[in-house]
Amino acid sequence: MLSNLEGWVTNLEKSMGGVKETLEVIEGCTDELDSMREQLKDYVVKAISSNQDAMRETLNVAMDDQTENLTKKNDSLKTMVSALKEQI
């Protein structure tokens, strides 16, 4: 009976060695995934920032165009109002 227990203990010790090796592999994979997650996060932040800058520039150009158009229309209206006042 003692030899059976010794055999079980030996088998259990071998199994534990395999479990420890598996845990080390899993920890390595987890570290690698954490690193990849950080890289992806940095990439997404850069992409969003780049898109934000492009959108801001596009909106600024559009607003400048609209401001210029409205200024021209305002000047035309002032001229028309002045001409109408002179006719009265």
3: confidence class by pLDDT, cuts 50, 70, 90? confident
pLDDT at residue 76, rounded to an integer: 94
Distance between CA atoms of residues 42 and 58, nearest Å: 24
Instruction: State the amino acid at position 27 in one-letter form.
Output: E
Residue labelled with tokens 């030899």? 3
DSSP string of 11-63? HHHHHHHHHHHHHHHHHHHHHHHHHHHHHHHHHHHHHHHHHHHHHHHHHHHHH
**What mean pLDDT comes out for the span 56-71?**
94
pLDDT at residue 66, rounded to an integer: 96
Distance between CA atoms of residues 23 and 76, nearest Å: 78
Residue 39 clears pLDDT 90, i.e. is over it: yes
**Residue range 65-83, pLDDT digits in tens:** 999 999 999 999 999 999 9
Residue 2 clears pLDDT 80, i.e. is over it: no
